[in-house]
């Protein structure tokens, strides 16, 4: 329990609106999007960078542990407190200024608490957007801290590709504020330290402001649902579309039958697009152009149908069928997968990343392993085939021992058999802490802890966790 003097001091720094101490009011900050609820000592909600600095400095001087939190949409327990009741939540949801758009430079500077939907709504009149497509509505600070990828990674890349500048507060006794670059696309005048904070999950400091590059909104789009001949045909399909569509290819998303069936069953507004029944596997493919239609140029719909037709007619056809329709309708199924999954019962989720050539083989071996050893769990996977990512979700009994055995089996297969990543894009948090310690080489963990210690210099007691070789998104200053 947090001492009354700490509550008084923190309220003096952020004002009454910036401190949440009642249990009922803390609940939204303590409950993660997945897994068990934690318990916070209190929630501190600074409204400016100066207030963030003051709060962080106070925590460092007093030895208080805190967890930086953006929109709390993460899936690895990286933004919520543990069950001890000893950690503060440092919420950045009030850092919604500035929101400065430079249309000519195609850059935007925003407070860390600005949501992706808010940013894109503000960019729309300028014909611009931040093209990272997600199943949630995160904050820009959280997106930078976790190096978010998303469904259009194939064409646009992740947040690391888009972040041009950061403002961060370091976890030391001074609450040092660093400005890392000024939004320049090219700047080799100093080390690009901002790249340590992009994907650092808050372990090196607290992101308070972000400058990102944005893009012209597509003026032409076309999408289709592809039904591959079989799982082994998915990679040849992708390679064919990359060769024929080039830079116009913006998404290539795989969806399993179990995932699609649950979305169709649990989302009332979603109609089944497959007249012949939901296939074992389907791929959403999207083409875009940033310019308006030109005279004599084939439309994207025609281009997409032509490529699909060529693939259907090949002697070794990797494509069994294709469904065409409005882009928004094609994406509706993909965007409904997470909602359908949430309504299906307890989920054991994995955010795995592979070499593209290994995806089909891993999935085949994993299905065989599940059938033999865990038949009471159903695989409801989907993911970003073009970048090797798969959200390997298993729905089944909530029995802790059973889930622990299943988790061990999946990670053992993925990491031991395929040298995969246990965190493709969700970042680091308590839910994957054991995997980090097991699969990340000790020397790499030691270097990461050393870097964190450098940024925390000025407060001798600052450490990430009791074991200095563990990287954690919480700042433990006890």
Are the CB atoms for 153 and 88 separated by under 8 Å?
A: no
Which spans in 147-251 are helix H?
153-156, 159-162, 194-197, 234-245
Residue limits of CATH 3.30.43.10 in the chain? 4-91
Q: Which residues contact 378 (CB under 8 A, 6 or more apart)?
A: 258, 394, 395, 396
Which spans in 124-256 are helix H?
140-146, 153-156, 159-162, 194-197, 234-245
> Which of 293, 193, 256 lies closest to 395, judged by CA?
256
Residue limits of CATH 3.30.70.2190 in the chain? 220-334
What letters, b where the CB count within 10 A reaches 16 and e where it falls short, cover 117-126? ebbbebbeeb
Q: What angle do CA 130, 133, 136 make, to 5 degrees?
A: 110
Segment (H or E) for 128 = strand 128-129
104 vs 368: CA distance, rounded Å: 54
> Which of 153, 175, 172 lies closest to 162, judged by CA?
153
Q: What is the pLDDT of residue 467?
A: 36
Tally: H helices and E strands in the chain: 17, 19
Which spans in 169-299 are helix H?
194-197, 234-245, 257-266
Sequential pLDDT tens for the chain (478 residues): 788 999 999 999 999 999 999 889 899 999 888 777 889 999 999 999 999 999 999 999 999 999 999 998 888 888 889 889 899 999 999 999 999 999 999 999 999 999 999 999 999 999 999 999 888 899 999 999 999 988 898 999 999 999 999 999 999 999 999 999 888 999 988 888 999 999 998 889 999 999 999 999 999 999 999 999 999 999 999 999 999 999 999 999 999 999 999 999 998 888 899 988 999 999 999 999 999 999 999 999 999 999 999 999 988 889 999 999 999 999 999 999 988 988 888 899 999 999 999 999 999 999 999 999 999 999 999 989 999 999 999 999 999 999 999 999 999 999 999 999 999 888 888 889 899 999 999 999 999 988 888 888 644 333 333 333 444 455 543 3
Q: What is the CA radius of gyration of the chain?
A: 23
Tokens of 38: 């934690």
Residue with tokens 């600095």: 53
DSSP string, 50-116: HHHHHHHHHHHHHT--EEEESSS--SSS-SS--TTS-PEEEE-TT----EEEETTTTEEEEETT-BH
What is 4-91's CATH number, 3.20.20.370, 3.30.43.10, 1.10.150.170, 3.40.50.300?
3.30.43.10
Residue limits of CATH 3.30.70.2740 in the chain? 345-427
Fold of 99-216: 3.30.465
CATH number for the domain formed by residue range(s) 220-334: 3.30.70.2190
Are the CB atoms for 121 and 170 separated by under 8 Å?
A: no
CATH number for the domain formed by residue range(s) 345-427: 3.30.70.2740
Going 28 to 143 to 245 to 313, the CA torsion angle's sign is negative
Is residue 157 classed as helix, strand or coil in its secondary structure? Answer: coil
Residue limits of CATH 3.30.465.10 in the chain? 99-216
């Amino acid at each position: 329990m947090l001492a009354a003097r700490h509550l008084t001091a923190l309220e003096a720094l952020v004002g009454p609106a910036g401190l949440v101490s009642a249990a009922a009011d803390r609940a939204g900050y303590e409950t993660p999007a997945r897994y068990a609820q934690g318990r916070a000592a209190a929630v501190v909600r600074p409204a400016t960078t100066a207030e963030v600095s003051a709060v962080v400095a106070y925590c460092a001087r007093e030895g208080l542990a805190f967890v930086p939190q953006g929109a709390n949409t993460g899936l690895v327990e990286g933004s919520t407190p543990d069950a001890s009741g000893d950690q503060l939540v440092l919420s950045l949801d009030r850092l919604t200024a500035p929101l400065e758009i430079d249309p000519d430079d195609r850059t935007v500077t925003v407070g860390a608490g600005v949501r992706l939907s808010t940013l894109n709504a503000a960019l729309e009149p300028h014909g611009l957007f931040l093209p990272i497509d997600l199943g949630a509505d995160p904050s820009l600070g959280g997106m930078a801290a976790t190096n978010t990828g998303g469904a259009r990674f194939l064409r646009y890349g992740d947040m690391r590709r888009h972040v041009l500048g950061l403002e961060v507060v370091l976890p030391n006794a001074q609450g040092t504020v660093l400005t890392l670059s000024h939004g320049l696309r090219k700047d080799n005048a100093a080390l690009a330290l901002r790249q340590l904070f992009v994907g650092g999950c808050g372990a090196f400091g607290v992101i308070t402001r972000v400058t990102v590059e944005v893009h012209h909104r597509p003026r032409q789009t076309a999408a289709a649902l592809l039904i591959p001949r079989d799982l082994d045909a998915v990679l040849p399909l992708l390679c064919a579309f990359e060769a024929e569509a080039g830079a116009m290819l913006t998404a290539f998303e795989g969806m399993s039958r179990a995932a699609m069936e649950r979305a169709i069953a649990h989302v009332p507004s979603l109609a089944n697009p497959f007249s012949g029944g939901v296939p074992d596997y389907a791929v959403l493919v999207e083409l875009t152009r940033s310019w308006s239609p030109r005279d004599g140029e084939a439309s994207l719909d025609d281009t997409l149908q032509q490529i699909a037709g060529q693939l259907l007619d090949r002697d070794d056809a990797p494509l069994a069928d294709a469904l065409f329709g409005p882009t928004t309708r094609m994406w509706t199924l993909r965007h409904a997968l997470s909602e359908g999954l949430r309504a299906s019962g307890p989920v054991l989720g994995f955010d795995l990343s592979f070499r593209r050539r290994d995806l089909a083989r891993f999935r085949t071996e994993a299905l065989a392993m599940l059938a033999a050893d865990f038949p009471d769990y159903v695989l409801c996977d989907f993911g970003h085939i073009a970048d090797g990512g798969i959200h390997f979700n298993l729905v089944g009994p909530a029995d802790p021992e059973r889930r622990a055995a299943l988790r061990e089996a999946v990670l053992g297969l993925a990491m031991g058999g395929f040298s995969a990543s246990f965190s493709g894009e969700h970042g680091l948090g308590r839910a994957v802490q054991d995997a980090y310690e097991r699969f990340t080489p000790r020397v790499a963990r030691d270097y990461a802890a050393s870097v964190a210690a450098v940024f925390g210099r000025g407060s001798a007691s600052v450490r990430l966790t009791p074991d200095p070789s563990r990287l954690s998104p919480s700042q433990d200053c006890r």
